[in-house]
Amino acid sequence: MGDLFYVSGEIDKSIEQYEELLEQKPKYSFAMYKLGFSYFRATEFSKAINAFKRVVEIETDLYMAYYWKGLSYYHTGEISKSIESYKKLQEKSPNNTLGFYQLAIAYKAAAKYKEAIECLKEILKEEPNIVSAHYHLGRSYTGLSELDKAIEEFEKVVNLDPEHKDAARRLKELTDSEDLYTFEVPPL
């Protein structure tokens, strides 16, 4: 019933069903995982965090709980805890590209641009045309004031997705600012 309510968009009823089930079977990790999803979807991120914490206490191999816990922390602004959760996900599932991507986003949010760049480059080794990875790479290079590299990444984004308005805007801003500071001194 909880799944049916979740799929039909009746999140409050979904939560009720999972909570009832967990009263009967408190260590049913998959029900706790689904409850965490429901709380997340209801934007009750603190409750989602608690649910996902309980999941990994009960069943440490349900590694995607670390992903959702990290995303919940991210939405509450607890970026360092988000990073910790994504790192734990990487320990449990080293090839989890989605977790690696979110780790990069969390690093970027924490102004840890070098770490974000390392993550994004690893992702792009496997799949070189991921638009959002190039976009966030450009943003990270901008954060480090490595403008040539940022321009290069935003150009890749625009080439891969000509409709990406924010990348086009950032590219224009960077190239315009480059023109302002690149000039020749007139001869004396």
Please state which CATH number belongs to domain 1-110: 1.25.40.10
For the segment 49-72, the average pLDDT, to the nearest whole number, is: 93
> 1-110 with 114-182: one CATH topology?
yes
pLDDT at 59: 87
Question: pTM to 2 decimals?
Answer: 0.85
pLDDT for residue 18 is more than 60: yes
For the segment 158-173, the average pLDDT, to the nearest whole number, is: 96
For the segment 58-73, the average pLDDT, to the nearest whole number, is: 92
CATH architecture of 114-182: Alpha Horseshoe (1.25)
Domain ranges of the chain: 1-110, 114-182
- State the average pLDDT for the chain: 91
**Ramachandran region, residue 43 (left: φ > 0; alpha: ψ -120 to 50; beta: rest):** left
For the segment 141-145, the average pLDDT, to the nearest whole number, is: 96
